[in-house]
Amino acid sequence: MERIIEISLHKLSIPLIEPFITSLGRDDDAKNVVVRIKTESGLIGFGECSPYMPINGESQDTCYSVGQLLAKALLQQDALAIKGINDRMDSIIYANDSIKSAFDMACYDIAAQAAGQPLYAFLGEKKNKTIITDYTVSIGDPDQMAADAVKILERGFPYIKVKLGKHGPTDVIRMTKIREAIGPNIPLRIDANQGWSVDEAIETLQALAPLDIEHCEEPIARWNYLELPRVRQASPIPIMADECLGDEHDAARLIALNACDYMNIKLGKSGGIFHALEIVRLAEQAGIKLQVGAMIESRLAMTAFAHFALCSDQIVHFDFDTALMLREDPVEGGIIYKPGGVIEVPDTQGLGAKISEDWLLKSESCRFMA
**Mind telling me the catalytic residues?**
163, 191, 217, 242, 266
Q: Quick count: other Cβ atoms within 10 Å of Cβ 127?
A: 13
Report whether 139 contacts 324 (CB < 8 A): no
Q: Provide the total of helices (H) and of strands (E) in the chain, helices listed first.
A: 14, 17
Give the whole-angstrom CA distance, residue 222 versus residue 195: 10
- In DSSP terms, 215 is beta-bridged to none
- For residue 162, what are the β-bridge partners? 137, 190
54, 86 in Cβ contact below 8 A? no
Phi, then psi, of 13 in degrees rounded to 5: -120, 120
Q: Is 169 exposed, middle or buried (0-12, 13-18, 19+ CB in 10 A)?
A: exposed
Q: For 289-329, give the DSSP string.
A: EEEE--SS--HHHHHHHHHHHTS-TTEEEE---GGGGBS--
CA nearest neighbour of 59 among 6, 7, 13: 13
Cβ–Cβ under 8 Å, residues 195 and 23: yes
Maximum distance among all Cα pairs of the chain, rounded to whole angstroms: 61
Number of Cβ within a 10 Å radius of residue 86: 20
The amino acid present at 261, given as its one-letter code, is D
Q: Which of 70, 108, 22 is nearest to 300 (CA)?
A: 108
C-alpha span between 47 and 102 (Å, rounded): 4
CA distances from 322 to 27, 50, 78, 86, 120 (A): 11, 11, 33, 27, 21
